[in-house]
Amino acid sequence: MAAQTASVHKIRHHYSAGFIIWTIFKYFTLILVSFTSVLPIVSCVITAFKSKTEYQNTNVMQLPKVWKLSNFAEAFQMANMGRAFLNSLIILVFVLLGSILIGTSLAYALNRFKFIGNELIRNLFTFAALLPGIAMQVSTYSIMSNLHLINHLYGYIFLMMGTDVISIYIFIQYYENLPVSLDESAILDGANYFQIYWHILLPLLKPAIVTCIILKGANTYNEYYCAHLYLQKPELCTVAISLYTFTGPMGNQYNYICAGVIISLLPALIVFILCQDQIYNGIAAGAVKG
Amino acid sequence: MSPVAATTPAKKSFWKSRRGQQITVIIAFTVIPVFLLMLFTYYPFAEMVKFSFYRMRYVGRRVFVGWDNYKEIFKRDDISGSLILCLYYMVGALVQIFLALYFATILSMKVKCGKLFKGLIFFPYLINGIAIGFIFKFFYTRGFVLDTVLHALGIPMSALPYWLKDRAVNNWSLVYSSVWRYMGQNMVLFIGAIMSVDSSLYEAAALDGANNWQKFKYIILPSIKTIVTLNIILSITGSLSAFEAPYVITGGNNGTGTFFVVMDKVAHTSQKVGLASAMAVFLLCIIFIATIIQKLLFKYIFRNANADDESLDAKKAKQKARKAAARAAKKGGM
């Protein structure tokens, strides 16, 4: 045994100077960019905990001496955030449900069946994806108002469901990976087309559905322009709109504003930490298949 | 299993036949999405084109004015000036893609705390627009966050501009906030694309002695070409429609109002719906043209992407020889 250990040499790695410089540069840039990413948010967190006098008297980046939690409660009340979270939740649930049902069924029809309008419908959706939403709102506002859909949650929900092109693409891509032989064997067993869709293909689409939930969910939760246009009554506010209450006369009380901002960030943060990998896969899936 | 009934009904309802069932499903599954698409995208588009030829508010009478609205786009300084602002955002977008590519490459290889870095860089994408507005209003306010950090690095306060008011820098401040927000998402996209490259290619290259830079140039770049060009096209058209950053941070004041910010003001504050519609249609045409130009440009640049192993010159030489032979044969046959 002693003879063997004696012959084991320590392996020496020879690192070239270039390699060391590159490694240092690599980590330096990574740390720098992470710092800049985090800095604005951290400064908000620090400020959110300061009392009014501390906020006015101390330098922005100094840590508060007294960590005041009440800012959060007060901001929550001021911006009516309880109501806002409820509204946002309702909107989220219905928009996601609607998007998934519409998206998967449309993708099913487009991918599995040959019919005259197939190419046309696909092109219509592709072209529609080019049109920036904000530009469309100029006339959509007039249409929504004529249909009496303004200032009703369901009007906004319809709008969000109807302007959704990305999820359809995701689903079509996924259907391409599901072999038609599945359909065929189901037909031999006597299933009709709806049953094939509902019982066989839909369960297999779970990863795509998860992707859709993440992407569409993030978009819907963060959407504020259309919400601002179409949900003008205070009791219909979403989380994004509730932050608007901090503009105007409240404009300078950054300790409350930051508290409100942090509150609105929390759901996104929690979901992000829990589902990090799925989120990355979802976005990357758009890259690989897109 | 009981034998299939040999009797087929004399007349089978069309709707129960294979084709009938297919048509039912097709119609049932396409009617709602297409209806919504028409209602909320194409019908508004048509209405907008119509509105652009009128002088009107959202309620009330309309006056047909022909091309006047379009002419006014060029006459009004604030509108035509706002178009130029998109150049700032284009520069920012290109920087963003470059950075995203750089960090995606680094983070695709083994890095300590890679996940942490990835998360920190990506998170800004999940923050909602108004929160970002406040965060950056706070960040850029005189004497606040950015100023404090720069001061700590030794830059005197007197040399620091008013980030959001000073017209020389305020657009760059906004562009920075946009890059801050979206770089992470681009990066994750690129990481996904890089990871999807067959890893055996990397091993083979390593065996052949390729260093990291060569791996990047010859394996990564060609494989993610499509996704990078797609992102470039989307970023350029995105810059033309830049809206969120100026809208939430400065409200478009002090010369930061991009085209759509001004359009929103014109539509809802000034209630000049006709003019706003003309603006929207105008920019949509520009976006459309820009997209087509870019697609053609990239098609041209990458036209030899699928060339075989033969060098391009050898191929061209072969083609020339073939043509000459054909010509000679024709001449001979005459």
B34 contacts in A (CB within 8 Å)?
Answer: 121, 124
A169 contacts in B (CB within 8 Å)?
Answer: none
Query: A102 — contact with chain B (CB < 8 Å)?
Result: yes
Query: A198 — contact with chain B (CB < 8 Å)?
Result: no
**B63 phi and psi angles, rounded to 5 deg:** -120, 125
B58 contacts in A (CB within 8 Å)?
Answer: 141-142, 145
User: At B255, is the pLDDT very low, low, confident or very high (cuts 50, 70, 90)?
Assistant: confident
Contact criterion met (CB < 8 Å) for A41 and B118: no
User: At B310, is the pLDDT very low, low, confident or very high (cuts 50, 70, 90)?
Assistant: very low
Average pLDDT over residues A118-145: 86
Contact criterion met (CB < 8 Å) for A41 and B135: yes
User: At B332, is the pLDDT very low, low, confident or very high (cuts 50, 70, 90)?
Assistant: low
Provide the 10 A C-beta neighbour count for residue A111. Answer: 18
pLDDT digits (tens, 9 = 90+) for A195-241: 888 888 888 888 888 888 888 888 888 888 888 888 888 888 888 88
A160 contacts in B (CB within 8 Å)?
Answer: none
Query: B88 — contact with chain A (CB < 8 Å)?
Result: no
pLDDT digits (tens, 9 = 90+) for B229-240: 888 888 888 888
Question: Above 80 in pLDDT, residue B321?
Answer: no
* pTM of the model as a whole: 0.81
**HEC profile for B21-39?**
HHHHHHHHHHHHHHHHHHH
Per-residue model confidence (pLDDT) at position A289: 46
Radius of gyration (C-alpha) of chain B in whole angstroms? 29
Cα–Cα distance, A276 to B119 (Å, whole number) = 8
Question: Above 70 in pLDDT, residue B309?
Answer: no
Q: Which residue of B has its CA nearest to A271?
A: B126
Per-residue model confidence (pLDDT) at position B311: 53
Per-residue model confidence (pLDDT) at position B46: 92
Per-residue model confidence (pLDDT) at position A290: 41
User: At B151, is the pLDDT very low, low, confident or very high (cuts 50, 70, 90)?
Assistant: confident
Cα–Cα distance, B3 to A87 (Å, whole number) = 57
pLDDT digits (tens, 9 = 90+) for A62-82: 777 777 778 788 778 777 888
What ipTM does the predicted assembly reach? 0.83
**B201 phi and psi angles, rounded to 5 deg:** -65, -40
- Total CB pairs under 8 A between chain A and B: 252
Cα–Cα distance, B232 to B54 (Å, whole number) = 36
Average pLDDT, chain B: 82
Cα–Cα distance, B277 to B274 (Å, whole number) = 5
Question: Above 70 in pLDDT, residue B128?
Answer: yes
Using a pLDDT cut of 90, give the percent of chain B over it: 11
Query: A215 — contact with chain B (CB < 8 Å)?
Result: no
pLDDT digits (tens, 9 = 90+) for B43-93: 999 989 988 888 888 887 888 888 888 888 888 888 888 888 888 999 999
**B118 phi and psi angles, rounded to 5 deg:** -55, -45
Per-residue model confidence (pLDDT) at position B90: 92
